[in-house]
Amino acid sequence: MSANAMLEGLPFGAATRNPFNYSKVEQIGRDNSTAWLTTTEIANQLNLFGDTSQDTYLASLELAVRQAIEDYLGLSIFPVSYRVWYGIESLSASPLSLDLPEISQNANSALAGVTITSLKYYTNAFPAATVTVDASQYYYDTSGNKLIVLSLPNDINTTMTAPIVLDYATVANPLAAYRVIKQAGLLLFTHLYNNRSNTTEKRLDDIPFGVAALLRPYKPLVM
């Protein structure tokens, strides 16, 4: 690609792209069983010492709290799997750059933010068949949250809307271990435990250092 194209910000070829070049994204896997908040932390928070009668309910509530924190901050307390689809317009540059919609912050470069499961494409056969691209043909760019692909064969389906399919998983985020994040989780846990209906006759106010206030410094800004 020419220097002029880079300067002009060619939509799918430039080093910086806005909007991102994926067609759609699906969440295909999520941890629905592993506990984040410990039973001891929950018992201390709720003052439920020696009471095991609510263990099943508390376990399900803990799971809901953990996933709510993940969704609010966009971080992975435990790995989350995604499937991303790309159209042939994403093939305008060489090497190819495939943007990832969800990633995981991590100071440890060895963890790289994501784990690539597979990269596939649909062929021009009728009906279309899928071919898996060898892992030696791509790598994850931690600086740009994208997959850089050396090349793809020329038999990619040109009729399908999004014939390129990437499966990957975010890695666990180190922020999940921060005490302020866990305290926000415990506050949310307490709220859901004490309010088991969507309505109330009482006037409720947020406390100054409530869930949102504790989490706000760690929520990424959307530009």
Residue 192 inside a domain? The answer is no
Residue 68 inside a domain? The answer is no
Residues 95-105 pLDDT 10s: 889 999 888 76
Domain count, the chain: 1
Residue 211 inside a domain? The answer is no
Residue 40 inside a domain? The answer is no
Residue 64 inside a domain? The answer is no
The pLDDT value recorded for residue 1 is 40
Residue 59 inside a domain? The answer is no
The pLDDT value recorded for residue 95 is 84
Residues 180-214 pLDDT 10s: 999 999 999 999 999 887 776 666 666 677 899 99
Report the alpha-carbon distance of residue 113 to residue 130 in Å, rounded.
27
23: Cβ contacts below 8 Å, ≥ 6 apart = 85, 86, 87, 161, 162
pTM score of the predicted model: 0.82
Residues 18-66 pLDDT 10s: 668 899 999 999 999 999 999 999 999 999 888 889 999 999 999 999 9
Residue 44 inside a domain? The answer is no
Residue 185 inside a domain? The answer is no
Strand ranges (E), the chain = 24-30, 80-86, 96-99, 114-122, 130-132, 138-141, 146-149, 164-170
Report the alpha-carbon distance of residue 58 to residue 179 in Å, rounded.
20
Q: How many Cβ atoms are within 10 Å of 186's Cβ, its own excluded? A: 19
The pLDDT value recorded for residue 105 is 63
Hey, is 4 helix, strand or coil? Answer: helix
Residues 70-118 pLDDT 10s: 999 888 899 999 999 999 887 777 788 999 988 876 555 555 578 999 9
Structural domain for 169, as ranges:
19-28+78-175
16: Cβ contacts below 8 Å, ≥ 6 apart = 9
